[in-house]
Chain A
Amino acid sequence: MTDGPLWEVFVRPRRGVSHGHVGSVHAHDGEQALQAARDLFTRRSEGVSLWVVPAADIVASNPADAGQLFDPAADKDYRFPPAHVLPDEVDYM
């Protein structure tokens, strides 16, 4: 039997919190991916909800593009609230 395709696994640790990526599993379909994810990633009560997504369907950024994608954010302090001085009347809003 050959390995199934790769699925990415996301777990919601508790209500009110977003699903976070925890790892991946091989499986032949969604139901089996869900079961494998349950067996591998929620053995110790880590979550209340599971998502599995075919890894092939995820469009990922290329690490080589990190410069153009992420570096330009570094020196734009006006994107952060502390960079703006508010009038006294609305400060601490």
Chain B
Amino acid sequence: MSDLFVRYLLRQGDRALVLSQQLSEWVTHVHELEEEMAVANISLDLIGQARALYAYAGEIEGSGRTEDDMAYWRPAEDFQNPLLVEQPNGDFAMTMVRQFLHDSWAALYWQAMTESVDDTLAALAGKAAKETAYHLRHAKSWVIRLGDGTEESHQRAQAALDHLWGYTDAMFDSDDAEVAVVAKNIGADPTNFKQAWLTGVGSVFTEATLQQPVGAQRRGGRDGLHQSGFEQLIEEMQSVARAHPGAQW
């Protein structure tokens, strides 16, 4: 069980960390200083969530591995984030639609996790649920503004949604780690909130005048199989830690 639990915790940590790293690439590139602060804040919240999950994974594992070991010293193929969060930033619409699809999921996930029988995770979930509720509010307002904005912003938001939609179903997938943790009421079963997720994103698409795409869903990520470009993303994220092993910051 503890192996599966560690895998489960790392997976959630990877989801948060990879998305955080992607968002941080926007710093100095966002169209407004105010929005840059917003993106950086969200990125830092996600790092905070990843740190807590990684530190707890190390504790459960009992190996002495630290949160830094989890983030900076695992190879790219060990990362089990959903493919959605590793999709390239693209333009601002792509980043915001990605964030919206993720945050809609994460808000429901953390809300459900506040009921976890694991006290550490329930406490983390309480904090993460508040943070994520705000992330979602922010991303949602952009999706509506871009979708129901100018002709160009609408077209960019729709293109982003068309690309990203095929990576959403995998966020509700299950495997042995998921099943084991859910069976003990430690983890939340995402299939329980899939309908709520669909209803939530659907109502925003309507308000944003965006068409919900139909089409093939892609699988992967949680099995360590990633898309091209992922190794470079991880390599860049780990480069400072690896250039200065044992450095303190």
Residues on A facing B (Cβ under 8 Å): 1, 3-4, 25-29, 31-32, 35-36, 38-40, 43
B137 contact set on A, CB distance < 8 A: 35
Q: Mark B1-36, 1 if CB is under 8 A from A, else 0.
A: 000000000000000000000000000000111110
Residues on B facing A (Cβ under 8 Å): 31-35, 37-38, 41, 92, 134, 137-138, 141, 145
A40 contact set on B, CB distance < 8 A: 34, 37
The residue from B34, B41, B134, B138 contacting A25, defined by CB atoms under 8 A apart? B34
* Cβ-closest chain B residue relative to A28: B145
B145 contact set on A, CB distance < 8 A: 28-29, 32
Q: How far is the CB of A30 from chain B (nearest CB, A)?
A: 11
Looking at A1, A3, A27, the one whose CB has the most chain B CB atoms below 10 A away is A1
The contact sample of 26 A-B pairs, CB cut-off 8 A, is: A1-B31, A1-B32, A1-B92, A3-B31, A3-B32, A4-B32, A26-B32, A26-B33, A26-B34, A28-B145, A29-B145, A31-B141, A32-B141, A35-B38, A35-B137, A35-B141, A36-B34, A36-B37, A36-B38, A39-B34, A39-B37, A39-B38, A39-B41, A40-B34, A40-B37, A43-B41
B92 contact set on A, CB distance < 8 A: 1
A28 contact set on B, CB distance < 8 A: 145
Q: A1-B92, A28-B145, A40-B37 are in contact. Are A35 and B31 (CB under 8 A)?
A: no
Docked CA distance A31–B207 (Å): 15
Docked CA distance A3–B35 (Å): 10
Q: How far is the CB of B43 from chain A (nearest CB, A)?
A: 12
